[in-house]
């Protein structure tokens, strides 16, 4: 119903502008910093270095905690509720049976109740090849799956730099994501009312190619 309030659907040239205005009118925009990753893209049969938009996890977390107290990533509990530590600690205790050598057990052995379990998910096998990557909570809040997926980037397959696998393009994008995780994942990720939380990547999921 909200989309019906767009001024006009007649001219496709105005769709983007009208949708942007509608989102602003209803206060549905999110304050998430958009970064750029320089990666090779194929344009007109030539490979060009293009600054591609990416939403890093370090950009998402401050907004998630400011808006929801971290509930989207901690089974519905906020950092103000003691149960959030129980939920996180229980997850890591159970996950030890899956991957007992995960780095979290040596990096944060005494504070597993403060570590967010996340996955890096990629999907690309559609009728039109489009790579969509996102960060996914391993302890999502109940509700629509969109609530547990934090978009990272979208990349059309026809822009891959080399062949169908687009290895050079994917390497540039995923390397930037890995750097952000390494630089911001080893220490405190966010503080909310004095409560410190860290994040750890549990696994890669989906079809990344």
Nearest to 60 by CA among 80, 36, 31, 84: 31
Structural domain including 158 reads: 31-206
Q: Which stretches of the chain are DSSP H helices?
A: 15-25, 57-68, 83-95, 104-107, 167-185
pLDDT of residue 89: 93
| Residue position matching structure tokens 């971290």 | 70
Identify the band that residue 195 occupies on the pLDDT scale cut at 50, 70 and 90. Answer: very low
Long-range interactions of 146-149: CB distance < 8 A, separation 24+: 147/72, 148/72, 148/73, 149/121
Q: Is 20 among the domain residues?
A: no
Q: How many domains does one find in the chain?
A: 1
Q: Is 52 among the domain residues?
A: yes
Q: Is 87 among the domain residues?
A: yes
Task: For residues 42 and 169, give the distance between their C-alpha atoms in angstroms, rounded to a whole number.
Answer: 9
Give the global pTM: 0.78
Q: C-alpha distances in angstroms, 40 versus 21, 56, 88? A: 32, 19, 39
pLDDT of residue 199: 62
Q: Is 22 among the domain residues?
A: no
3-class DSSP assignment, residue 67: helix
The DSSP code for 179 is H
pLDDT digits (tens, 9 = 90+) for 45-78: 888 888 999 999 999 999 999 989 999 999 999 9
**Structure tokens of 202?**
């549990």
Task: For residues 90 and 30, give the distance between their C-alpha atoms in angstroms, rounded to a whole number.
Answer: 31
Identify the band that residue 206 occupies on the pLDDT scale cut at 50, 70 and 90. Answer: very low
Q: Which stretches of 119-166 are DSSP H helices?
A: none
Q: Is 83 among the domain residues?
A: yes
Give the mean pLDDT of 109-136. 82
Task: For residues 116 and 122, give the distance between their C-alpha atoms in angstroms, rounded to a whole number.
Answer: 19
Q: Is 157 among the domain residues?
A: yes
**Is the pLDDT higher at 178 or at 9?**
178
Give the number of other CB atoms < 10 A from CB of residue 52.
20
Q: Is 10 among the domain residues?
A: no
């Amino acid at each position: 119903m909200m989309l019906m309030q767009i001024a006009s659907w007649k001219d496709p040239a105005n769709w983007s502008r009208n949708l942007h205005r509608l989102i602003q009118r209803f206060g549905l925009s999110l304050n998430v910093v958009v970064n750029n990753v320089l990666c090779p893209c194929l344009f007109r049969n030539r490979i060009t270095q293009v600054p591609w938009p990416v939403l890093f996890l370090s950009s998402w977390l401050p907004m998630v905690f400011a808006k929801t107290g971290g509930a989207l990533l901690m089974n519905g509990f906020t950092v103000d509720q003691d149960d959030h530590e129980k939920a996180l600690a229980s997850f890591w205790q159970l996950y030890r049976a899956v991957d007992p050598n995960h780095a979290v057990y040596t990096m944060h052995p005494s504070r597993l109740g403060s570590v967010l379990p996340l996955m890096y998910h990629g999907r690309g096998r559609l009728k039109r090849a489009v790579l969509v990557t996102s960060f996914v909570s391993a302890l999502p809040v109940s509700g629509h799956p969109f609530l547990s997926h934090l978009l990272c980037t979208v990349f059309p397959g026809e822009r891959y730099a080399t062949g169908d696998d687009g290895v050079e393009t994917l390497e540039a994008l995923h390397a930037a994501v890995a750097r952000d995780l390494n630089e911001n994942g080893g220490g405190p990720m966010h503080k909310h009312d004095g409560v410190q939380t860290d994040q750890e990547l549990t696994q890669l999921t989906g079809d990344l190619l």
